[in-house]
Structure 1
């Protein structure tokens, strides 16, 4: 497979997996999946640009809390709500205190349990509140914050799919993408997202990169725990990582801001 064709197929797979962008699917195999997961932060930047525009546009017409709430809703719509669904399923599995197959069976159920509901409410409230707080900053800082938070969430997917991290099931999205990302992509992605975060906190250029690094450190610890409990990653785990990292970056950007 030519390199350019592989990157193109990988980008298409990343877009169709992480957003609702209607692009035609190309070749789908583990090599393509590895490219797609390595490009996940780039997709996050594209999505973040759209969400940043929504937030800034609405903030000029409506109160900050309303603008933030609609932006969070737009993020869910543009991702089919899959990441939020993954968060709820993953937290339900963790809350059950079960391991391995028993926990995976809980994640497969179509309903959402009490732990999942609480996780959704907390994450959505925190994202809305932090975005509303960010609206009071100059627009370049607001845009940088949304770009950094959204891209960092997808960078969490890149980290989760790095070599050495197994799949919890022999089928599904987790089996396709687990262990497909080499060591270079996470490092390059981390540096790039940290640089994007520099202007997010006016007067404190260190706070944005620190928020990104801290969120990724938490995600790394969470992934290790999930691998121990579940035996590996699943598509739901990837969705949970996206929401957790995004929320933590937003929180890090508004603390003492």
Structure 2
């Protein structure tokens, strides 16, 4: 029992320390088992950020701040709260996929850490979608929509369990993502996404939108993440830490876009 508690403690510290700016004690041991558990716990690990984002969104609605401005502030808070780690991955993946059809050249471009034209364009498009969709959601649902924005923050991290699914290869042997590659069992990945869909359904229903719009938005996010992972495997030979980050940001955007559409139709 004590050993298992130690594993969970290390996994939790790894998840929180990697995915947020919150200061936690470093894990005693970092191995593939702990890394896999950390990725399963990722939606819970970012709960403090989700609460902060929800409070910011709620305050903006109460103060009658313009929806787009609110969306941009929310996006900014999340960028600060994650050290822009996922945004860096999104930019690097876009640059790598557009740099060359040669695998090694693409991986080399992604490793430079600088943002080229494709990376900048990806950031503008995805962040723009996140901000605009957040504003649209809050305009449709009011203050209760703030909770949905917070839930979307957590739900988007379900993408990490799919990126780290056992059987998905890694593109390189080194790098931040190498320890996490293939570390999550399929049954846990399925469970994470089912729970994400259920929580999203409850949140959007409470906000006044048909409950099924939540699972639908999560399903669309799952499809988007699958496409990114498949593309990475075909072009790069596998996933990297940059692919993880890109999938989180894309999943967040898709969930946020999906729910306001449902609100408008409902």
Q: TM-score, normalised by structure 1?
A: 0.94
Instruction: Give the deviation of 1:30 after TM superposition.
Output: 1.3
Report the equivalent of 1:170. Answer: 173
Q: How does 1:97-246 map to 2 (within 5 A)?
A: 97-136=100-139, 137-143=141-147, 145-198=148-201, 199-200=203-204, 202-246=208-252
Q: Contact 2:88 / 2:113 at 8 angstroms: preserved in 1? A: no
Q: Contact 2:210 / 2:262 at 8 angstroms: preserved in 1? A: no
Q: Distance in 2 between matches of 1:85 and 1:221?
A: 19
Which consecutive unaligned segments of at least 5 residues does structure 1 have?
Answer: none
Report the equivalent of 1:90. Answer: 93
- Which of 34-43 and 235-244 deviates more? 34-43
- Provide Cα deviations, 1:70-96, integer angstroms capped at 9, x if missing partner: 111000000001101100000111112
Q: Contact 2:62 / 2:143 at 8 angstroms: preserved in 1? A: no
Report the equivalent of 1:38. Answer: 40
Q: Distance in 1 between matches of 2:209 and 2:61?
A: 22
- Provide Cα deviations, 1:111-166, integer angstroms capped at 9, x if missing partner: 211111111011111111111112221433431x2133212221101110010011
Report the equivalent of 2:67. Answer: 64
- Which of 43-52 and 235-244 deviates more? 43-52
Q: Contact 2:20 / 2:46 at 8 angstroms: preserved in 1? A: no
Instruction: Give the deviation of 1:40 after TM superposition.
Output: 1.0
- Number of matched pairs: 256
Q: Contact 1:44 / 1:153 at 8 angstroms: preserved in 2? A: no
Q: TM-score, normalised by structure 2?
A: 0.91
Q: Contact 1:147 / 1:196 at 8 angstroms: preserved in 2? A: no
Q: Distance in 2 between matches of 1:195 and 1:139?
A: 21
